[in-house]
Structure 1
Amino acid sequence: MNKKRMFQLNSLAGAILLAGSMQAGAAEIYNQDGKTLEFNVEGMAGIFSTDENYKGTSGGEDWQEAYLKGDLVGRSTIANGSSLYGGLGVIGLGTWGDGDAAGYTDGEERELKIENAFVGWQSSDGLLDFSFGRQQFTLGDGFLIAGDAISLGNISGVDVDRGGAYYLAGQKSFENTAILKIDPEGAFRSDLFWLQSDNPYHQDTELAGINLELVDEEKGTLGLSYMTVLDVEQNTGLSAWNQRDGMDVVSLRGQGNLGVDNLFLSFEYVDESGGDTATKIDANAWYVEAGWTFADLPWSPTLNYRHAEFSGDSNATANTNEAFDPLFFGFTRGFGTWFQGEVASNYAGPANTGNTVDRIELMVQPREDLTVGLQYWDFGKDADASDLSGTEVDLFALWSINDNWVFSPMVGVYNPDGSNVIANQGNDNTNLYLQGVLMYFY
């Protein structure tokens, strides 16, 4: 029971594992007679600078982002050893300075709001776990769902303001959920889920689905998921997801090492079809990934390669949309998953639709508290999608200062190649991108 879910990390806090440190434990407020109450704090602050922006004019941007989140989490044992649990949390966030390089924020965003508000029940044997309310949900590796993390700000002419802190993405909870986890003895487990977003970028998308997993703690996990989009608020936000309404999604994935030490393998294939609009959806995406850790060498280097493809729309099919909808993808098991390329995925594009991606990554650990990574990215276009081709190199580090603090600097060098991204950048110059993020967990 409570089978290990391979490599599932649900926030930027997950990157701490790459630095050899786990998130610090919560502060225990009360623990008596089967009742516990804990308080968690998570905060991040970042400074960002780029030589170029992606608003159609040449020039750089300098901005800052921050958020601070606090949660009360309680649990009480009741009859027959089952338990009730719940959480209530708030988040404050904002963006300062010029706003981000894509123009999704303008530096004037400030917001304080409820982030988590949920209750749940778990059976004494762990077979059933049902919860509902405002909370996060991640499906598999986060390729399709990793919380409701996109947080835009002030964009002229549209109503998409969610408080900013666009890059840090501290908000991850769906407005409302109902989640049933089924975890019997043996290799199989399952999730039934209903998710309702209040994110204007996602046009208040509502969806439901089922997830089945076969878990072998020695070899890895296979997963099969089906979901359907129940509702989308048409012509709101950026009007980017109108055709999502009624879409059916099937995902097959796997991740693990097949019982071979130092090996890492991962894949996923997603098919999207149907829809309730006049134009029907026929899209797909997939990736394959392999890595090897040279455990006997100094600094234990890990070399990883990934190839991914996300279908783009074809001009030859007037009544069919082949552009892949990336849904609620997010940051899970480290930089580049699934925001692929710090400049490309966050500002320049592409963002997991109408493109191909190749990534080579080298990770080393000079000390127990320090991890250094180098990534090379090559982006191409698919079918008749916008040409956002380019290359990027990202060098980053994760330094676990102590049990509570982590610092992560990054340098990115981005070269635009495609006609559309050159137009958005206002030139074809190499873009130097700098950032530093300080993280706190308690």
Structure 2
Amino acid sequence: MHAGELEIKPTFEATFGAFSSGKSYNGENLEDERINWQEGHLKYGAKGQYTFKNNQLYASLSGISSATFGDGDAGQNSNGKERKTDVNEWVIGFKDGTNKDELTTYDLSIGRQNIMIGDGFFIAGDALNLGKAPADGTLDRGGAYYLAARRSFDFTSLLQYKPQENTTLKLAYLKSDNKAQFSPELFVTDLMYQLKDKGVGFTYLNVLDLTDAEHVSGREDLKNYALRLNYQPLPEIQVKTEFAVQDKKDGHENAGYLALNYNFLSSKYTPSLGYRFSHFSDQYDPMFYGNTVGFGTWFQGEVAGNYAGPFNKNADIHQVSYM
């Protein structure tokens, strides 16, 4: 629908997956020869924007219905009986410029939305979707654990500011209602300077509050400081690295990675061959990491990354990829 400078569009997304595992990890059904389960979700809603005087007011609202069937996932994070419908996302924002997906100078938004910081090393949406199996269902978020159906933080305030062509600043307040994550409130700032072939970024995260009466999370007043670099010496070659220091009440932890990718630009499908080494110290908290740009991004290993652990903690990981 168009009315002057007003544009409104419906949105719809449907995802379904069928899965099978030769065994169960960290759960019941340990004697079963094979675990079979299915996950699916529907997202439906509308988004719109109103453009005036080279500025744009935009908004979106969507719901989500998700379900898990069968035996539940191979880590027993769900039991196959999960069915849930609720609000997926609502956002109201204001920005300069007329392209919603392009940051001109500033973009201010509030609402329930999926936010990624940097490369998603420790903030890539609120994507942990436990079901009814863990903790007698007290951590149930609707299941669809593998597909990570729900990825929005419960409430956010996000300011994106571009003071000059190559510099971008993000300031974010993120509130999670995810009980499996101890429902924290976070302040995050990210500063990125990016040229055509090289860039440097810095991220600061502070846990402002959380629900942890037993003090078992180790997240009280947790702070992360992270530096990341990228360099592309040739069109085919890309080098990326990030190092994070984590300040916790009971000590200091660290994590980081170094990645090298070669892109076959002369090939019709431009595949990429990559190697990445990542390190996570003994009690490092990976926070809200997740997959961001493709399979294997930060869920490293089908079993180790999804079901059995170590879930980016107390590990050194070598990953070779071709995609």
Give me the TM-score of the superposition, normalised by structure 2: 0.92
Q: Quick one: which of 309, 312, 317 aligns to 1:357?
A: 317
Q: Quick one: which of 269, 285, 291 aligns to 1:325?
A: 285
Deviations 1:249-290 (A, max 9, x none): 1111123524x1111211111110034xxxx23111000000
Consecutive unaligned residues of structure 1, counting only runs of 5 or more, are 1-29, 313-322, 364-442
1:86 aligns with 2:46: no
Q: Give distance in 1, aligned partners of 2:257 and 2:90.
A: 35
> Counterpart of 1:345 in 2: which secondary structure?
coil
> Counterpart of 1:346 in 2: which secondary structure?
coil
1:282 aligns with 2:252: yes
Match of 2:183 in 1: 204
CA contact (8 A) 2:78 2:134 kept: no
> Counterpart of 1:139 in 2: which secondary structure?
coil
1:55 aligns with 2:29: no
Return closer, same or farther for 1:297/1:128 CA change in 2, 3 Å cut-off: closer
Give me the TM-score of the superposition, normalised by structure 1: 0.68
> Counterpart of 2:165 in 1: which secondary structure?
coil
Q: Give distance in 2, aligned partners of 1:358 and 1:203.
A: 30
> Counterpart of 2:303 in 1: which secondary structure?
helix
Shift in Å, 1:200: 1.1
- Corresponding residue pairs, total: 314
Q: Give distance in 1, aligned partners of 2:274 and 2:97.
A: 41
Equivalent residues in 2 for 1:181-220 (5 A)? 181-216=160-195, 218-220=196-198
Match of 2:45 in 1: 71
CA contact (8 A) 1:247 1:281 kept: no
Q: Give distance in 2, aligned partners of 1:200 and 1:85.
A: 30
Shift in Å, 1:41: 1.3
Runs of 4+ in 1 over 4 A off after TM superposition: 297-301
Q: Give distance in 1, aligned partners of 2:106 and 2:5.
A: 19
Larger % of helix: which? 1
Shift in Å, 1:298: 7.3
> Counterpart of 1:102 in 2: which secondary structure?
coil
Q: Give distance in 1, aligned partners of 2:24 and 2:97.
A: 54
Match of 2:211 in 1: 233
> Counterpart of 2:229 in 1: which secondary structure?
strand
Q: Quick one: which of 249, 270, 273 aligns to 1:303?
A: 273
The alignment yields a C-alpha RMSD, in angstroms, of 1.8
> Counterpart of 1:105 in 2: which secondary structure?
coil
> Counterpart of 2:304 in 1: which secondary structure?
helix
Q: Give distance in 2, aligned partners of 1:68 and 1:335.
A: 21
Return closer, same or farther for 1:72/1:221 CA change in 2, 3 Å cut-off: farther
Match of 1:106 in 2: 79
Q: Give distance in 1, aligned partners of 2:59 and 2:112.
A: 10
Q: Give distance in 1, aligned partners of 2:18 and 2:245.
A: 38
Q: Give distance in 2, aligned partners of 1:100 and 1:127.
A: 44
Q: Give distance in 1, aligned partners of 2:39 and 2:213.
A: 29
Q: Give distance in 2, aligned partners of 1:53 and 1:184.
A: 51
CA contact (8 A) 1:146 1:331 kept: yes
Return closer, same or farther for 1:182/1:48 CA change in 2, 3 Å cut-off: same
> Counterpart of 2:163 in 1: which secondary structure?
coil
Match of 2:229 in 1: 254
Return closer, same or farther for 1:156/1:127 CA change in 2, 3 Å cut-off: closer
Higher relative contact order (CA 8 A, sep 6+): 1
Structure 1 window deviating more from structure 2 (150-159 vs 333-342): it is 150-159
Match of 1:13 in 2: none
1:38 aligns with 2:38: no
Q: Give distance in 2, aligned partners of 1:87 and 1:110.
A: 24
| % identity of equivalent residues | 34
Which residue identity does 2:294 align to in structure 1?
Answer: G
Equivalent residues in 2 for 1:120-139 (5 A)? 120-124=93-97, 126-139=104-117
Q: Quick one: which of 318, 322, 346 aligns to 2:306?
A: 346
Match of 2:145 in 1: 166
Q: Give distance in 2, aligned partners of 1:352 and 1:113.
A: 30
CA contact (8 A) 2:242 2:256 kept: yes
Match of 1:175 in 2: 154
Shift in Å, 1:81: 2.9
Q: Give distance in 2, aligned partners of 1:73 and 1:226.
A: 31
Q: Give distance in 1, aligned partners of 2:135 and 2:62.
A: 31
Q: Give distance in 2, aligned partners of 1:112 and 1:186.
A: 42
Deviations 1:270-323 (A, max 9, x none): 110034xxxx231110000001123346765432100001000xxxxxxxxxx1
Which residue identity does 2:228 align to in structure 1?
Answer: R
Match of 1:272 in 2: 246
